[in-house]
Amino acid sequence: MEEKTLFEGLYRPQPLLIVISGTSGVGKDAVLCGLKELGLNLHFVVTATSRPPRPLEVPGVDYFFYTREDFERRIANNEFIEYTMVYSDWKGIPRSQVDDALRSGKDVVLRVDVQGAMKLRKLYPEAVLIFLIPESVDEWYNRLRSRNTDSPDELALRLKTAHKEVKQIGEFDYVVLNAHDLLEKAVDDIIQIINVEHHKVHHRKALNDATPE
């Protein structure tokens, strides 16, 4: 009977590419860890870098750590969807990390700097871009200083870069506040964004159809 098929096919959410970005030190890694702890059916992209690991960073979990020579060889082999030089080191998104997960129907989550997010906007116009912000400049600057990984000159460069990056927030779809001691709220906001995107009547185009060659 026609009545039995009345609502068939009306709810078919497409896999999303969720891009989490923001200035250096805004807490992108912490937000990703919070999402991972929820055990959701998400694929978390591991990006690659030519810088050495920081204390407590695990290769293959936090980043793929390559030498500069190995990274540049992989660039030549077209192994990255996008790559860029950030603070004197290469960063890039391995192509297989995104393409394979999207084909499987999973939502894909990755964190990149603002430069990377802008490149992904061009390559994947259907992607969901989320810009993280701190509660205040003082809070953000204290986070950077507490890492104890940057020289005064490097901190000055990050501040200068942040001024440029914030001006690009209009290119993003959502802004999420990642305030001190409120990480769970930021993670919950991102989950709500994903749910909203899946419940839209007019879904973003299937990303598998838009994957660049």
Residues recognised as catalytic: 54, 147, 158
d(CA 210, CA 102) in angstroms, rounded, equals 11
d(CA 151, CA 158) in angstroms, rounded, equals 11
Which tokens is 28 given? Answer: 């992108």
Give 83-152 as a DSSP string. EEEETTEEEEEEHHHHHHHHHTT-EEEEE--HHHHHHHHHH-TTSEEEEEE-S-HHHHHHHHHHH----H
Residue 101 · residue 43 · CB < 8 Å: yes
CA 213 to each of CA 15, 78, 109: distance values in angstroms, whole numbers, following the listed order: 19, 10, 20
